[in-house]
Amino acid sequence: MRIGIVFGTRPEIIKVATVYLKAKELGVDTDFICTGQHREMVDMMKGIFGVESDIDMNIMTANQTLNDVMYKVVHGFEELFKERKYDWIFVQGDTTTAMAAALASFNKGVKVGHIEAGLRSGDLYDPFPEEMNRRVIDQVSEKMFAPTEKSKATLLKEGFDESRILVTGNTVIDAQMYVVEHFDLDKERKRIFEDGDYFLVTLHRRENIGERMRNILKALRKFAESEKIHLVFPVHKNPKVREIVYSELDGCKYAKLTEPVDYVQLTALLKGAKFVATDSGGIQEEAPTFGKFVVVCRETTERPELIESGFGVLAGTQTDGVLNAMYKAFEFQPGELKNPFGDGHASERIIRSVMK
């Protein structure tokens, strides 16, 4: 049996690296396939997990559109399948890389396994194009690896056969456990922010760029200045994001803006923060491991488990809503709450399910 595990973006490699490592550990013939959708950020991640690509399509070009990415990935797999035979192609999440790889595999009769299946926001255009991508991937997947019982229930409600669904937990918790075991997180955090209280910020989503992001940033600034607490913000490389962030936070003495950080550094910052304000999906899953409250700066979330568990609030993108949510986060105490997204053993469950 041969498996191909696909990634093209930073969030994908974080969530599939431990699956690849577990496959190798269990003696499964496995290729780690990089599309290169996000070149720089992906390359940064490989050293953290001690992995290299077996195949690299290197599709990244300046100013490429979603259709450019889709075409290049489909074509890349068309050529790859002429050279190598696979029993399974595993894709993760909801990127254009994942959707295109799943369709290309399905069209060639290769079984598709979808890691992190069953997530839904309920709005086809928010997030865009991720909501469409994950729905399409689930349609063509032989195996759907649902991270939670709620995501399994979503798939069953949509009419998928239960035999195709396995609840595994989320592989991002596996990645977190790997980093906690292999790195000194306090030392990593002090390289970026030495002392004092702070909250962590990440913002980058396509649908938030513009007025929504400005509203969010106004709330973050007002809270930081009012409470005299620093905000630590690794700013995304997207020039549109950077223009908005630097203009809205210009002159704020409590704002520490940094270049993008690697996964170890981000995990270290998350561990040391009072709470996190984000529009990221992954951080919604990771923060509860460290007992951190999440202010979700979005209009929708495909991770309702966070809200239901008590670890977060869907704040929206209006200034007052975000500001009110931050005061709730400031007072949060985790008590005996547990991370609803997994236990660190998802990767093994996924690999063993196709070894039977």
- For residue range 214-245, what is the model confidence (pLDDT) as tens digits? 999 999 999 999 999 999 999 998 999 999 99
Average pLDDT over residues 97-115: 98
Residue 248 has pLDDT above 90, yes or no: yes
- Tokens representing 201 are 């910020």
Residue from 12, 31, 130, 138 carrying the catalytic annotation: 130
Query: Is 42 or 171 the better-scoring residue by pLDDT?
Result: 171
Determine whether 130 is an active site residue: yes
| CA of residue 68 relative to chain centroid, distance | 22
| Model pLDDT for residues 259-316, shown as the tens digit of each residue | 999 999 999 999 999 999 999 988 999 999 999 999 999 999 999 999 999 999 999 9
Distance in angstroms between the alpha carbons of the first and the last residue of the chain: 11
Rounded CA-CA distance 355/145 in Å is: 15
**Out of 39, 75, 164, 206, which one is annotated catalytic?**
206
Q: pTM of this prediction?
A: 0.90
Judge whether 10 counts as a catalytic residue: no
Which ranges of 228-303 does DSSP label H, i.e. alpha helix?
239-248, 263-272, 282-286
CA distance 263 to 326: 24
pLDDT tens track for 114-162: 999 999 999 999 899 999 999 999 999 999 999 999 999 999 999 999 9
Q: Which two tokens stand for residue 84?
A: 């190598």
Is residue 222 within 8 Å of 323, Cβ to Cβ? Answer: yes
Asked if residues 230 and 269 have their Cβ atoms less than 8 Å apart, the reply is: no
**Catalytic residue from among 10, 12, 31, 116:** 116
Active site residue 116: yes
**Residue 356 reports pLDDT greater than 80:** no
| pLDDT of 42 | 81
Q: Find the catalytic residue in 205, 221, 230, 236.
A: 236
DSSP H or E segment with residue 104: helix 96-107
Distance of CA 5 to the CA centre of its chain: 16
Q: Which of 10, 38, 134, 204 is catalytic?
A: 204
Determine the pLDDT at residue 150.
96
Structural domains in the chain, CATH included, are: 2-170+342-355 (3.40.50.2000), 186-330 (3.40.50.2000)
Q: Reply yes or no on whether 206 is catalytic.
A: yes
Residues in Cβ contact with 136 at an 8 Å cutoff, skipping those fewer than 6 apart: 99, 102, 103
Burial of 322 from C-beta contacts in 10 A (0-12 / 13-18 / 19+): buried
